[in-house]
């Protein structure tokens, strides 16, 4: 009985430790099949379209240059992040596509606002230009 209680406590503590990052953020990993998707969109037209869509749908939270300093950023429960950081830029295109499409917490799903998959891929291509 004591062993069961002890094991339950250890497992519960471990889950809490792994459920949140050291800075209090929950990790957000795309499922492997989504993360492995290849980006079919290429070229300057894609980036230009992505920039326009980003300005319309994303800049209010993420800021014009993706630094997480949009006009609505202070109203959010979760930090919108800094797209210029290496940790963000190291994600696969498929992961970014998944996160934009599906959303989580304060980040809404954009699969209805941008129903054309190529538009979401264009946003992915634009955010790639925001690196330092």
How far is C-alpha 40 from the geometric centre of its chain's CA atoms? Answer: 19
pLDDT higher than threshold 50 for residue 15: no
Q: Mean per-residue pLDDT for 76-81? A: 93
Q: Mean per-residue pLDDT for 67-94? A: 96
pLDDT tier for residue 3 given thresholds of 50, 70 and 90: low
Domains of the chain are 28-130 (1.10.760.10)
pTM of the model as a whole: 0.80
Per the CB < 8 A criterion, the answer to whether 120 and 110 are in contact is yes
- pLDDT of the residue at 18: 39
In 3-state terms, what secondary structure has residue 84?
A: coil
pLDDT tier for residue 132 given thresholds of 50, 70 and 90: confident
pLDDT higher than threshold 50 for residue 16: no
Phi, psi (rounded to 5 degrees) for 55: -60, -40
- pLDDT of the residue at 84: 96
């Amino acid at each position: 009985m004591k062993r069961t209680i002890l094991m339950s406590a250890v497992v519960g503590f471990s889950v809490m430790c792994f459920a949140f990052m050291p800075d209090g953020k929950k990790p957000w990993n795309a499922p492997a099949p989504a993360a492995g998707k290849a980006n079919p969109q290429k070229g300057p037209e894609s980036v230009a379209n992505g920039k326009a869509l980003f300005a319309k749908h994303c800049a209010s939270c993420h800021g014009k240059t993706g630094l997480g300093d949009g006009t609505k950023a202070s109203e959010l429960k979760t930090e919108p992040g800094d797209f210029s950081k290496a940790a963000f830029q190291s994600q696969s295109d498929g992961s970014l596509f998944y996160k934009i499409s599906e959303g989580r917490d304060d980040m809404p799903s954009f699969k209805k606002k941008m129903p054309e998959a190529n538009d979401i891929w264009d946003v992915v291509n634009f955010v790639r230009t925001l690196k330092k």
